[in-house]
Structure 1
């Protein structure tokens, strides 16, 4: 399995996990000129931007640690662009979640940043 297939498989695991918890997935792999967001979902009238990270081993830290300040900044910029493009407003309740997959363990951090 190549890196892209592995990423898609783990993103699907995260998607399944979220839908089982009542999240409605709005968009997968949203891309714009500023970057990408793995998943955009809705729950309790809130738009949630979700970053999914996978690690097969902990040599370079766990999956959650991979969502550093720079990555968070990019996700915030892409989220802002998404809201302005699709809702023409920034006055919408939002949050940023992180899903880390380390081997077969899923960790979900709500309001992760």
Structure 2
């Protein structure tokens, strides 16, 4: 399985997980010139922007650790573009990270999911929007 296939599988599993938790998936792989957001969902009145990090047994490190400040800024910029385009700029927004750990090549193999709600906040990056 190549990196793209692993990522797509992880995003699909994350979307299924979120739907089971009562989220409504609005967008998958939302792209703009500023970046990409893996999943955009709604949980009640909150707009949730989700970065999915998938790790295969041959991979290394924890996925959430790879969402550094630069990646957070790209996600936040892209989220603002989405919210402005959809007329939801004044909605409550949250940034989550989901780690998918794959134990094998198929969905029948063990999968573990870690969901970090409010993994980072836009207020921490307010200077980039001034």
TM-score, normalization by structure 2: 0.80
* 3-state DSSP of counterpart to 1:82: helix
Classify the secondary structure of the residue corresponding to 1:4: helix
What secondary structure, in the 3-state scheme, does the structure 1 residue paired with 2:14 have?
Answer: helix
Using the TM superposition, give the Cα deviation of residue 5 of structure 1 relative to its aligned residue in structure 2, in angstroms: 1.5
- Partner SS state of residue 112, structure 1: strand
Alignment root-mean-square deviation, CA: 1.5
Q: Secondary structure at the match of 1:13?
A: helix
Please show how residues 52-91 of structure 1 align to structure 2 within 5 Å: 52-57=52-57, 60-87=60-87, 89-91=88-90
* 3-state DSSP of counterpart to 1:90: coil
Where 1:30 maps in the other structure, the secondary structure is strand
**1:62 touches 1:102 (CA, 8 Å); kept in 2?**
no
Matched, 1:108 2:115: yes
- CA–CA separation in structure 1 for the residues paired with 2:2 and 2:61: 21
Q: Equivalent residue for 1:38?
A: 38
- Asked if the contact 1:52–1:99 (Cα under 8 Å) also holds between the matched residues in 2, the reply is yes
Distance in structure 1 (CA, Å) of the matches to 2:6 and 2:101: 13
Shift of 1:101: 1.3
Runs of 4+ with deviation above 3 angstroms: 57-60
Q: Does 1:16 align with 2:16?
A: yes
Question: What displacement does 1:2 show?
Answer: 2.1
Equivalences, count: 112
Cα displacement string for residues 52-91 of structure 1 (whole angstroms, at most 9, x for unaligned residues)? 001224864211111111111110000001111111x521
Max Rg structure: 2
Calculate the TM-score normalised by the size of structure 1.
0.92
